Structure 1
Amino acid sequence: MWGNYCEDVLEKRAPYRQAHLDGLTAQKERGVLVTIGPTKDLAQVFGIYDAPDEATVRQLVEADPYWQNGIWTSYEVKEWIQAF
């Protein structure tokens, strides 16, 4: 998953950060989230999910407080084939 952050992300994410992190922790514990994080410039987010289909990833992203509150402003899901 590649997505974009809103302007002034550090300030705007503050009220939702703990709920966001708690949700990601739960996804990681269930084994559906491999890794996720921002680019160094805080412009984009990149995540790798181990999910059965694109719809599952979209459901997880759209249930996240960052999506629901406009911290993530857009995203796209691309299926990835691990070569090694």
Structure 2
Amino acid sequence: MAKFVLWGSYCENVIEKRAPYRQAHLDGLNQQKADGILITLGPTQDLTKVFGIYEAPDAATVRQLIESDPYWKNGIWTEYEVKEWIQAI
């Protein structure tokens, strides 16, 4: 399977706004991790960007996972980009 990199942005006041959706978000990520699709995901230190690495059959699968996440559905993530990644080392 191919690897994909996610870069996205968070909304303003993310700490407060994410609270109602945080547990559902984390539960979904944990399931993706258990399924072997999500390798890693997390925010930048300044809480403005999100970075993730996925292993999936195609970019459409990754986009579907992102767009079904409570953070995307509720405007916590405001934009994202997915690129296929070639792991050289």
Q: Per the shorter chain, which TM-score range?
A: over 0.9
Alignment root-mean-square deviation, CA: 0.3
Structure 2 residue aligned with 1:33:
38
The answer on 1:64 being equivalent to 2:69 is yes
Q: Which has the higher contact order (CA 8 A, sep 6+)?
A: 2
1:1-84 equivalence runs, <5 A: 1-84=6-89
TM-score normalised by L of structure 1: 0.99
Partners of 2:84 and 2:37 in 1: CA distance: 14
SS state at 1:36 partner: strand
1:11-64 residue CA offsets vs partner (Å, 9 max, x unmatched): 000000000000000000000000000000000000000011000000000000
Identity %: 75
| Between structures 1 and 2, the one with greater strand share | 2
Partners of 1:77 and 1:27 in 2: CA distance: 16
Unaligned runs of 5+ in 1: none
TM-score normalised by L of structure 2: 0.94
Runs of 4+ in 1 over 2 A off after TM superposition: none
